[in-house]
Amino acid sequence: MATPELTWKTDRIFARPPTSADAQVVFENYASDPDVAKYMIWRPHRDVAETLEFLARCERVWMDGSAFPWSLWLRDTAEFVGLLEIRVRGHAVDLGYALSRRWWRHGLMSEALASVVQWALAQSDIYRVWATCDVENLASARVLERAGMEREGILRAWLVHPNISETPRDCFCYSIVKAGS
Ligand SMILES: CC(C)(COP(=O)(O)OP(=O)(O)OC[C@H]1O[C@@H](n2cnc3c(N)ncnc32)[C@H](O)[C@@H]1OP(=O)(O)O)[C@@H](O)C(=O)NCCC(=O)NCCS
């Protein structure tokens, strides 16, 4: 199985695995914010203990290879900006991501996704990179399009986004595949 780098850089971002030492900054700037969580599958964290649990899970999944989450930091100022995770399943990689609200609309996730998509499609055994987003999450749909992905269709009743409703919601499915596939 293709295993990504622990750390990588783009022009503005430094990415590394999150650790428990990041709990306070992740809690305050990301995990406790209902606007960040709105279209995610988790509820906003109520205290830093929940964020610590989440970060322990991040360390575990790196160890067992079931997912590869990175925390994203500005190279210039070392500020925390968000998280991006990929999962490798056979010949396919899927993505999940979110930024701290104050870093929305700066092109940062587009920059991060470009790097991850490029890495994935450069692996000999990866042919497909894909992601889903709630049909109302226009920012996420746009960021996937900017990463070169095409909308394949709608996965009906695909995911529960508990901050919106307990009923599974329709999601757009986006992908990019290796040229010639
Ligand atoms: C989705 C998210 C990561 C986008 O990241 P971002 O760095 O702000 O996006 P970018 O600045 O790269 O912008 C990409 C495009 O989306 C557009 N966009 C950004 N926010 C938008 C919004 N709220 N509504 C509509 N379009 C938006 C930008 O204008 C840009 O479009 P353009 O190419 O036409 O100029 C960010 O909004 C976020 O973290 N949201 C909360 C968590 C979330 O929903 N994660 C995804 C779950 S599937």
Those residues whose C-beta lies under 8 Å from the C-beta of residue 55, and which sit 6 or more positions away, are 18, 19, 20, 22, 23, 26
The mean pLDDT values, 10 residues at a time, for the chain of 181 residues are: 92 98 98 98 98 98 97 98 97 98 98 98 97 98 98 98 97 94 71
Q: How far is the CA of 124 from the centre of ligand 1 (A)?
A: 30
Which ligand 1 atom sits nearest the alpha carbon of residue 132? 48
pLDDT for position 1? 76
Structure tokens at 166: 């307990």
Query: Which of 134, 142, 169, 175 to probe ligand 1 with, by most ligand atoms within 8 A of CB?
Result: 142
Cα dihedral value 139, 23, 3, 67, nearest 10: -70
Which ligand 1 atom sits nearest the alpha carbon of residue 39? 44
